[in-house]
Amino acid sequence: MLWYVVLIVTCLFYYSSRRLRYFSSRGIATLPTTPFFGNLTAVTFGRENFVEAIAKGYDAFKDQRYFGLYQYLVPTLVPRDPELIRQILVRDFSAFADRGVHIDEECDPLFGRNLIMLRGSKWRSMRVALSPAFSGARCRNMAPLMVESAKSVTNHLQKKIIDEKVIDINNITMSYVNDVIASCAFGFAVDSLKEPDNCIYKLGQKAIIQDTTQVMKFFGYENIKTVMKGLKVKIIATQEAEQFGLLFKSALKARKEKLVEPRPDFIQILVDAMQGKGDDDNISSNSTNAFTDDDLVAQAVLFYVAGYDTTANLINYFLYEMAVNPHVQEKLNQEIAEMSDEGDVYEAIQRLKYLEMCVCEVLRLWPLVGSADRRSVIPYDFGPTYPDSKHSLIAPAGIHIWIPIYSIHRDEQYWPDPNTCIPERFSPENKGSIVPYTYLPFGTGPRHCIGSRFAVMAAKVFLVNFLKTYRTRTHRDKTKLSPRAFILRPRDGFELTVERRIEDD
């Protein structure tokens, strides 16, 4: 029996070592690996954030156009050259049309149907059907719903903060974002600060993808898909998925049967499209009719799960950067103080140019996701590893790509003093000098984040309402990333001192 165990372990080590020679055997730079874990040992055991694992290679191979990492045993190419990034995301998109990890509906009936996981013609049809839901016109219509939720937050804080108080900003922003998405996606008006036990908020806390455990599911589906499928591992647990489905389908049914008044939200957009009323927005009712209610549920859940943590994070880091950079905060406050409270709130916020510059700079420092993933669908020649190199990679279909967004956003070659918040980088005079494809907070190309306009608008509405009355301060000038978070989150949380502004200061 012992010999069998030794034989099996030996075979596994041999298989692992063979897979982990993919890049070195082709002359491609890569970091030292650990058997079975590749370059993710520290990530797996909660000692390092995912983007920090990528940053190690990015910083180590500054002379390379691209380098290799291993997500366990899966070879993954990381491009450093902005022009190569353009090729992958835009020019040669047809060669990289799929996301990196694929979980189909057979593995996960809910998550496998969402826009991120869809491929080919079904992805294109769904993208065409959903794109108008996040147009500028639709965001304008949703802005009043966002304002309602933002005002609920300030009303709540007025009772809690008399002078100043140290609070966990994340508790406030997560409640706000939950209420905004519940209103704009599901058509439910909730106040999660007043009623934290509401079903959508409680459901969201269980379903959102926050920590290493959830990330490991994605890696598991890429490395041991048969095992994950056999164990029936779901990205969103079955119970939560069923509850989301019931909530959305009940709201969808009410709109279809006109049991409630139409609202300018995500559900109404889908209903109008299905009934052929979306011609003004170029929505194809034929393409939308090709989808079932389950397909639409999956998109609504994606809207919630993908938008929840990321939008809250944008607000959290924005308030953190304002606290660390009080001169920036005061300059922004002057602009907000001059904003008119009358008229179209969407247009009024769009006119806040310094706010836009600040949002862009916070997204540079703290992008909503630290990396974007793609997978080639045909063989592809990535060219030389560096100019005049004799080594190049011609990879077969299926090679994984990680776009190092966090690293390239903090590369001093493109961003002088890269770790400092300087909103003027994005002034009308300066933004033209930004090297193309070195600023990718929402990705780019046909698979860029479809909800980016909505997320930024929701954040701006909150920030304008909050900063009119409050300012933030902190004694921390540095923040270390949590090693157990999927997105960029600080290890020590988002505690800030919040103080009321004096009206005539």
Q: Which residues define the annotated binding site for heme?
A: 449
Write 422-427 long-range contacts (CB < 8 A, 24+).
422/361, 423/328, 423/354, 423/357, 423/358, 423/360, 423/361, 424/357, 425/357, 425/360, 425/361, 425/364, 426/356, 426/357, 426/360, 426/361, 427/357
Cα–Cα distance for residue pair 501/64, rounded to 1 Å:
50
DSSP state of 485: B
Is 415 in contact with 409 (CB distance < 8 Å)? yes
Q: What's at 326, amino acid-wise? A: P
Q: The tokens of 163 are what? A: 């002078």
What are the DSSP calls for 239-252, one per residue? HHHHHHHHHHHHHH
- Nearest Cα to Cα of residue 50 among 405, 362, 314, 306: 405
Helix (H) and strand (E) counts for the chain? 19, 9
Cα–Cα distance for residue pair 37/78, rounded to 1 Å:
18
Q: What's at 391, amino acid-wise? A: H
Q: What's at 449, amino acid-wise? A: C
Q: Which residues contact 25 (CB under 8 A, 6 or more apart)?
A: none
Cα–Cα distance for residue pair 213/268, rounded to 1 Å:
35
Q: Which residues contact 376 (CB under 8 A, 6 or more apart)?
A: 95, 96, 395, 396, 397, 398, 399, 401
Q: Residues annotated as binding site? A: 449
Cα–Cα distance for residue pair 346/50, rounded to 1 Å:
36
3-state secondary structure string across 18-61:
HHCCCCHHHCCCECCCECCCECCHHHHCCCCCHHHHHHHHHHHC
Total Cβ atoms within 10 A of residue 207: 22
Cα–Cα distance for residue pair 494/479, rounded to 1 Å:
10
